[in-house]
Structure 1
Amino acid sequence: MSKQAQRLAARQQLQQRMAEKAEQERKQRTVWWSIGGVGGLVALVLIAWIAVTVFSSDEDGDEAGSTASDDTATSEAPTESTETAVPDGLPVQEVIIDSMTMSDPESGETAECVYTPTTGSEAPPAEQPAVGTQEMTIETGVGAITAEIDTANAPCTAGSFTYLTSQGYFDGSQCHRLVTQGIFVLQCGDPDARAAIEAGTPEGAGMGGPGYQMAEENLPADGENNYPAGTLAMANAGAGTTGSQFFIVYDDSTLNPASYTILGQVTSGLDVVEEVAAAGAM
């Protein structure tokens, strides 16, 4: 092939490569323009959605505020806004038990009790009074609560409280649970609850106990509202795990009749618990 023919062939190849490159660049520009157009459309849709959401939230907030105001106006006691109130949690109104005392039991019949150790701690004597009643006094930062303890029908539980209160076991403890829906109870008696709450870990409250457990006793009959307002009963984690945690029922409640020992009845101060309940849970 002559040099002239070689130059002609090289020129044609160069022109072909340049044409292919130009076509490739044109296609890339088309793709980027397409992407840009889609991106712009997405941005417009997003802006429109944000605008609608903001205006809708303002309207919903006004309605919720009106509802909360109406509820407060018609309530006999102040309540939390429905936007923040929860049915089960730490009471908004802090309840610290300053002291808890029990009157001496009556003499007479006795019962043989079984206190099963869980941590090696000392337990009350196995033989406990099983006659008459005792008076429990709970002094709290929001008011005093008294209860008549049914020693005759719950001798082992009453004996445990007599033993624990004599040691100041409940003094300085904090009531850690309030339930305002389904059942209506304020729960106390965990000696470790206050430390957990003050440490910022309230989910750890409700785990503590006296180092021993006992069986349930003085259980109610089955039926509606078998734990009426004013009932003082024992919490547990299952059959045979009753310890030191107890709850005060501030409004008629229906519970499993085979689960929770009825220790006694509140004789004064139920209004204190009702006020705590009115403040709500968090």
Structure 2
Amino acid sequence: MNETAVTAASTAPAWLAAARAHANRPTLRMRMPFVVDGEDVGSVETVVMDRIVEHLPGGHRLFFHDAAWHLQSANGNATQAMNTLAQAMRELGLNGPWRNEQLVVCNEDGKRIGMIERGLVRPLAIATCAVHLIGTAPDGRMWVQQRAFNKANNPGMWDTLMGGMVSAADSLEQALERETWEEAGLRIADLQSLRHGGHVDFQQPAEEENNAGYMRERIDWFSAVVPAHIEPANQDGEVERFELWTTAVVHDHLARGEFTPEAALLLADYFGW
């Protein structure tokens, strides 16, 4: 833990217990297991599947059996079947924000089953992985970003220096490097004291999306020092601006609920609360 985190560590603030409870909540409505080629990968609301069951082309089968919804691929290609389902759900407006980005789908034991469009992971409660970078200046102040106001989730809220999904094409380290450049215009090789700090798990209704979704996500966070002669500069249009705050200012914004729920818990972990 760096010097900033050590000096900031103290009794957990009043907001933290509620934030942790908010990040670990049950589903809002009953969901049934979602099984792909015999492997449990998520869950879904029956009302969603009832609308899609007659719209699945390509010889793939979607059916209800033994209190679970099953997707059976026509040719053993689970990725093809899941993306056929994704497209059918999109046509009926049952998807989250469509990104043209493939995410890995694993069973409950972590075995890779295939890939699916990112916009369907929450409607189908498929577990995802993300990565964040907490960046500080050499004097201990912290770099934070304000999310763009056109973001689908948590627009305009404050966030860590960088946060993004781990795509199907990435390892954790590759996602860290790619997202750090895309969001902050920083090269990992130029940062100092890079370390993997830990991870935080989230399991909660995807309330920001009108898609009967459920979020299951592991977020690994890293921390690093941004040299004094370098400043972050967004490359992908997803950041409104960056600011450099003292620890006291960060704590104040956390207490006011102005950070995203994910960033708040990651920063709590960083501060040792």
- TM bin (shorter chain): under 0.3
* Greater helix content: 1
* Greater strand content: 2
Structure with higher RCO (Cα < 8 A, 6+ apart): 2
Give me the TM-score of the superposition, normalised by structure 2. 0.23
Larger radius of gyration: 1
Give me the TM-score of the superposition, normalised by structure 1. 0.23
